[in-house]
Amino acid sequence: MKFEVKQLYKSFGEKEILHGVSFALESGTAMGLLGRNGAGKTTTIRILMDVFRADKGEILLDGKPFISRNHQIGYLPEERGLYPKRTVMEQMIYLAKLRGTSSSEAKKNSDYWLERLEITQYAGKKLETLSKGNQQKVQLASTLVCNPDIVILDEPFSGLDPVNSQILQDVVKELIADNRLVIFSSHQMSYVEEFCESIAIINFGEVVLSGAIKEIKKDFGKNQLVLSAENYDTAALEAKCKQELSAYMIPMNAKRDYLILELTPGTTRNQLLEALLKTDISVEHFETYKPSLNDIFVAKVGNEK
């Protein structure tokens, strides 16, 4: 299945919140829907779920208009909404049936997901008596109980300890391997890097960067290098580079242990290295900069107010 979101526009009153959001992904992959607080991620997801109607734009599945009620979608919203007074099993079966699953299937799927998320022992307990992390796991089990082809997870790791996070990471990987289509919204970039093949970064209601993470990283780190010296700390190295090597490079970012720099247009790595060797800088690290997703996110949307 190919899922395409094309040029979504949405206003609340006079205020336009989404200004043409577009992205695409295929079954068997996960896409990270990223952006700062208030960027428009939840609004986009709510349009996909038909909670809001877009003012303009289209959503296509395999080239045809996507009508959410005709599909099994597992949506884990950021604000959780289960029934605190009902038992875990009761609400799982209720939610599965509400989404069109037969009684026997609802019971079978509930058993499976409670077992898979290691919360079978709470099946007969009222939700409100469970810890926050276990409630979160029940919420996740409820999201998956209808066996959805499309899974939308909004901050699924919040409140989980490292062991439970690992269980959830494995579950997400299984969903991807099982050819589901996964949209994952999170501020925790390490999880996004762990299983998303692609990302779409929304900033002020516009997609400012999208595509395969591998390609984005390659492109982002192009012409950028990491430099450190044995005889200068980073601040001194930066000053020295500005003074003596400005024809070859522009210092971009001084980290604690190294400097990230960009080659000036037309300069090759070898030319910079030769120039460096003519200075008194004793080179410690000189290598291609491999940005993390966090670095890319901050560089792309970090400075705007």
What are the residues binding ligand ATP (CB under 6 A)?
A: 12, 17, 35, 37-43, 78
Residues in the chain, total:
305
- Residue 155 or 295 having the CB closest to ligand ATP: 155
**Distance (Å, whole) CA 68 – CA 71:** 5
Q: How far is CA 197 from CA 28, 34, 194, 207, 221, in A?
A: 10, 13, 9, 17, 18
DSSP calls for the chain: -EEEEEEEEEEETTEEEEEEEEEEEETTEEEEEEESTTSSHHHHHHHHTTSS--SEEEEEETTEE--GGGS-EEEE-SS----TTSBHHHHHHHHHHHTT--HHHHHHHHHHHHHHTT-GGGTTSBGGGS-HHHHHHHHHHHHHTT--SEEEEESTTTT--HHHHHHHHHHHHHHHHTT-EEEEE-S-HHHHHHH-SEEEEEETTEEEEEEEHHHHHHHHTTTEEEEEESSS-HHHHHHHHHHH-TTTEEEEEE-SS-EEEEEPTT--HHHHHHHHHTSS--EEEEEE----HHHHHHHHHSS--
Minimum distance from residue 60 beta carbon to ligand ATP (Å): 21
Minimum distance from residue 12 beta carbon to ligand ATP (Å): 3
Minimum distance from residue 14 beta carbon to ligand ATP (Å): 11
Minimum distance from residue 81 beta carbon to ligand ATP (Å): 15
- Residue 45 or 88 having the CB closest to ligand ATP: 45
Minimum distance from residue 32 beta carbon to ligand ATP (Å): 13
- Residue 75 or 122 having the CB closest to ligand ATP: 75
Can you read off the two tokens belonging to residue 266?
């037309």
- Residue 39 or 241 having the CB closest to ligand ATP: 39
- Residue 107 or 187 having the CB closest to ligand ATP: 187
Minimum distance from residue 206 beta carbon to ligand ATP (Å): 12
- Residue 14 or 230 having the CB closest to ligand ATP: 14
Whether the CB-CB separation of 46 and 24 falls below 8 Å is answered with no
Minimum distance from residue 298 beta carbon to ligand ATP (Å): 15
Minimum distance from residue 75 beta carbon to ligand ATP (Å): 14
Whether the CB-CB separation of 194 and 182 falls below 8 Å is answered with no
- Residue 18 or 144 having the CB closest to ligand ATP: 18
- Residue 42 or 134 having the CB closest to ligand ATP: 42
